[in-house]
A and B are shown apart, each in its own frame.
Chain A
Amino acid sequence: MPGESDLILEMRDISKEFPGVKALDGVSLSVRRGEIHAICGENGAGKSTLMKVLSGVHPHGTYTGEIFYNGALATFANIRNSEHAGIVIIHQELALIPELSIMENIFLGNEVRGRFGVDWTATRQKAKELMARVGLQDEPDTVIKTIGVGKQQLVEIAKAISKDVKLLILDEPTAALNETDSAHLLELIREFKSHGMTCIMISHKLNEIAAIADSITIIRDGKSVETINVPEGERVDEDRLIRGMVGRELTSRYPDHTPTIGEVLFEVKDWTIRHPEITDRLVCKGSSFTIRRGEIVGFAGLMGAGRTELARSLFGKSYGVYQKGQIFLDGKEVAPKNVEQAIELGIAYVTEDRKVLGLNLLDDIRTTIVSAELHQISPSGVVDRNAEFAAAEKYRRELRIKTPTVNEGVVKLSGGNQQKVVVAKWLFTEPEVLILDEPTRGIDVGAKYEMYGIMNALADQGKAIMMISSELPELLGTCDRIYTVSQGAITGCLDVADATQESLMRLMTLIPNTTLNAA
């Protein structure tokens, strides 16, 4: 254990202002050499800004306060400076070029020079070594877009260690990863630590922080609240972290809810869909399930199990090629051919990745909220701007979207509020069946709690809610019933009272014994 005095990094009293906003307000951070230091805080608390100050994205002089790196005052003017000093940051959104190979990506901007341009033999050799260190067994010339996001994350890390990194900063490294890949990544970080590397990790996943961090700094509203040193071999209390992050006691992470369950509203029978490009691959294999009025039904599965594909194919065939199967609404068979018809039938799908699939980031709140059901407020094709404003205001109040006015651009909102805007957009279509795909991903603890409250309220209005989530505690905390999906097939259905993380995981990893093939 390195001594208290051996600090690799000390940030003192850092403040950073943007026009109109004080993003950081006297934050201090001390990182000991060779430790894993976690930074946690709600979205918008200033974690990412702090890391950008450190890595020179916000150059020296644009902030106040001092950074001491290896004991000397650091004045980074750009990322190149900080990388030169051995500080490498891996962003939440990966910065890989999808069309290039693994080795080209690893050495991008840092190419191994030979006599004539790039020395490919040396590149390959070095790439292999680096890939071995992070546990990647693919060929170095595999194209990035053909490997999964978990492996892409490893390529990013290989790229970082190729630069002789001393301080590695990971911004939400496991946000897009499934459980297995996350575990592997955390293991890797631990291994780096044993080789003397220092890591700063920003994460929302408190269980991961608890499992891995040697010390934890909590940031709230641009201020550092406290730094917790975790004694060797102990786990930090997650509730303590939550208290620090939200600044209040969260008695429960999930609101209490007594469901009032009615008739079967949404029923799917033998739903079979094949992959849009690969003709002999089925992504949904004869799935059948029901959702009753007032019921929140969870769909658990590992990444790639086909939950999103199932949801999107049900939502007006917006994914894959339909093979067979039926949808019943209130006992009547329906067959929406496109998204427009699905919306008309009262089906709504809140997409999984709000920035890529859910929002037009150039748009403002009011126009976004009405965008999925414009015809409702547009007699003869002309949008009634007053009705639009009234609708947007209504949802701003009901869902408590934090914004000065509904004329603000959605890009200015925090993740949780953006998610509320997306939900509002779908509530405006007055759905009966609401499909929520990872509705709480990337939003903070407080906003999650609010989102669960919204879901409960909708269920109480008699709507049927299908919820896809990769976080098992969340499914167990909010759902009434949980289906498990594995390799495109539904492998089980558990009442929430009977379900545990272990029993779900067992069903999620079951190899379905369906022998269906694309006919």
Chain B
Amino acid sequence: MEALKNLFGGSLRQFGMLFVLVALAIFFHLMTGGLVITPTNLMNLLNGNSYILVLAIGMVMVIVVGHIDLSVGSVAAFVGIVVAIAMRDWGIPWWAGILLGLALGAVCGAIQGVFVAYVGIPGFIVTLAGYMFFRGANQFVGKSLTVPVPKDFQYLGNGYLPEWGPNTGMNNSTLLLGLVAIAVLIFMQLQQRQALIKIKADVPPFWVTMVRIGLIVIVGGWLTWMFGTGRPGSSFPVPGLILVLLVILYSFVTGRMVTGRHIYAVGGNRLAAELSGVNTKKVYFLVMLNMSVLSAFAGMMFVGRSTASGPFDGVGWELDAIAAVFIGGAAVSGGVGTVVGSMIGGLVMAVLNNGLQLMSAGSDVTQMIKGVVLLVAVALDVWQKNQGRASITGMFTRSKEITTTTPTETALIEDQVANPGELR
């Protein structure tokens, strides 16, 4: 146990969910007679879920500051139809379409952001209005019809990386990406170690670093192999690549930048943040704005994948994204949650969907099981928190619960408030 803690840096809850993800994948692989962990299926899994995962990136930030965004599916659909029509009727190129879409997403987000941050209406209500409005706007603009998008644009949703160079038996783009990723990760491990030594902090034993590097090589190599050896013409999919880049970007922003610190500060204790010089209104505004921009992106990825924009795109996405975030360990009361955790949460849902489908379970059963999984995941979280409950006041609010515990008892709730420094 101690060794595991050393290896993963203490926040076992997140790794618990990662373990669940791997276990699920293996379970379904065995149950379907080897259909789940195959190159083609993994590519499908990424292509078919990356837009939800992109939404979850934005959603975790919204939930951390203590709001919720219900409008993401509608904004995605609205942006999708406008971009599709713009490309068809005005003949603008695909890249201009993307820019237009992002700009439109920013406008939708700015409007909602103003109401949340500066008018002071809870995000739930503002985005419930947005949910209705933008759904209607999609059908109004598209006259409830389906509008196809050009080939170039479809690359965004189901494209593959090019094949080039000598015959290595693998897709060379994927191979290169994999090798670069492994090299960068190893470099980061070593650098982190150096930094710890430099500031004379607790340096983990050297074997920990070595085992981590070993794991990186094995897992990275295996993933490269899986994605590199699919059917000819396939590779690590473009939507997957976009997702990975966004995850890296947003993990950096939330974990390392001042903006990210402010997001967690506002979510953890708004009053304290305000009195520490954080402009809380600006934080709310930016988070809501960002959410809609990512919704626009997700909408365009989906349009690319389904080759057309339709009136029912994006229905129910907000709930999938929210589920991913909560399975990934975010707290309803704000202040807790990570981008990477939400990705794991989203992938748990995706693997469930995919595995059940491959076992030819109907969507009825799939929905029921997904509901149970969400409830169990959050219930486990809450149960863990309640272990540290100290007084009846704790039943009413979570923040109270912390304030009523004595210092000795807070040791109990150590895991529930899982060290945010490590979570981020």
A interface list, Cβ under 8 A from B: 18-21, 23, 43-44, 46, 48-49, 52, 57, 79, 91-93, 95, 97, 312, 315-316, 318, 338-340, 342-343, 349, 351, 355-364, 366-367, 371-375, 378, 381-383, 385-386, 389-390, 393, 405, 407-409, 411-415, 425
Contacts and interface: CB of A to CB of B under 8 A. Distances in A.
Closest 8 CB pairs of A and B: A360-B268, A340-B277, A372-B276, A414-B407, A23-B408, A362-B268, A360-B269, A339-B277
A390 to B, nearest CB: 6
A338 B275 contact: no
Nearest to B392: A95
A378 B265 CA distance: 16
Contacts of B404: 91-93
A456 B419 CA distance: 34
Contacts of B273: 360
A57 B259 contact: no
23 contacts: A18-B411, A19-B412, A46-B406, A79-B392, A91-B391, A91-B392, A93-B400, A95-B393, A97-B396, A315-B275, A339-B274, A339-B275, A351-B275, A356-B272, A356-B403, A360-B264, A360-B273, A361-B403, A362-B268, A363-B264, A364-B420, A386-B199, A409-B417
Contacts of B391: 52, 57, 91, 93, 95
B5 interface: no
Contacts of A339: 274-277
A361 B268 contact: yes
A339 B280 CA distance: 11
Contact of B261 (A342, A362, A383): A383
B406 A20 contact: no
Contact of B199 (A49, A374, A389): A389
Contacts of A360: 264-265, 268-269, 272-273, 335
A357 B392 CA distance: 23
B258 A378 contact: yes
Count class of interface residues, chain B: 35 or more
Contacts of B419: 364, 407-409
Contacts of A393: 199
A53 to B, nearest CB: 12
B403 A374 contact: no
Contacts of A413: 407
B421 interface: yes
Interface centre among A19, A315, A339 (most CB of B within 10 A): A339
Contact of B268 (A93, A356, A363, A366): A363
A343 B278 CA distance: 11
Given A349-B275, A367-B420, A413-B407, 9 more contacts: A23-B409, A339-B275, A360-B265, A362-B268, A366-B421, A367-B261, A382-B257, A385-B256, A409-B419
A408 B264 CA distance: 17
B406 A412 contact: no
Q: Does more than half of chain B's interface fall in helix, strand or loop, or is it mixed?
A: helix
A351 B258 CA distance: 22
B46 to A, nearest CB: 29
A252 B398 CA distance: 40
A378 B199 contact: no
B327 to A, nearest CB: 19
A355 B403 contact: yes
A416 to B, nearest CB: 10
A158 B202 CA distance: 53
Nearest to B402: A361
B336 interface: yes
Nearest to A24: B408
A316 B279 CA distance: 12
Interface of B: 195, 198-199, 201-202, 256-259, 261-262, 264-265, 268-269, 271-277, 279, 335-336, 390-393, 396, 399-400, 402-414, 417, 419-421
Contact of B411 (A19, A364, A386, A407): A19
A343 B414 contact: no
A17 to B, nearest CB: 10
A412 B407 contact: yes
B420 A21 contact: no
A338 B279 contact: yes
Nearest to A370: B261
Contacts of A48: 406
A400 to B, nearest CB: 16
A425 B259 CA distance: 18
A257 to B, nearest CB: 28
Contact of B409 (A49, A367, A371, A415): A49
Contacts of B256: 382-383, 385
Contacts of B393: 91, 93, 95
Interface centre among A20, A359, A412, A413 (most CB of B within 10 A): A412
Contacts of A342: 277
Nearest to A23: B408
Contacts of B261: 367, 371, 374, 383
A375 B410 contact: no
Nearest to B423: A362
Nearest to A316: B277
Nearest to A91: B391
Interface centre among B408, B410, B412 (most CB of A within 10 A): B408
B272 to A, nearest CB: 6
Contacts of B402: 355, 361, 411
B411 A21 contact: yes
A356 B270 CA distance: 9
B164 to A, nearest CB: 35
Contacts of B414: 409, 412
Contacts of B259: 381
B407 A415 contact: yes
Contacts of B390: 52, 57
A405 B202 contact: yes
A373 B277 CA distance: 8
B188 to A, nearest CB: 13
Nearest to A44: B407
B411 A20 contact: yes
Given A360-B335, A361-B269, A381 B258 contact: yes
A382 B412 CA distance: 33
A381 B257 contact: yes
Given A23-B409, A407-B421, A411-B413, A362 B272 contact: no
A372 B228 CA distance: 48
Nearest to A406: B201
Contacts of A382: 256-258
A312 B421 CA distance: 30
B332 to A, nearest CB: 13
Nearest to A364: B421
Nearest to B424: A367
A371 B275 CA distance: 11
Contact of B258 (A43, A44, A383, A386): A383
B224 to A, nearest CB: 30
Nearest to B266: A360
A362 B336 contact: yes
Nearest to A366: B421
Contacts of B400: 93
B269 to A, nearest CB: 4
B204 to A, nearest CB: 13
A415 B419 CA distance: 19
A371 B273 CA distance: 8
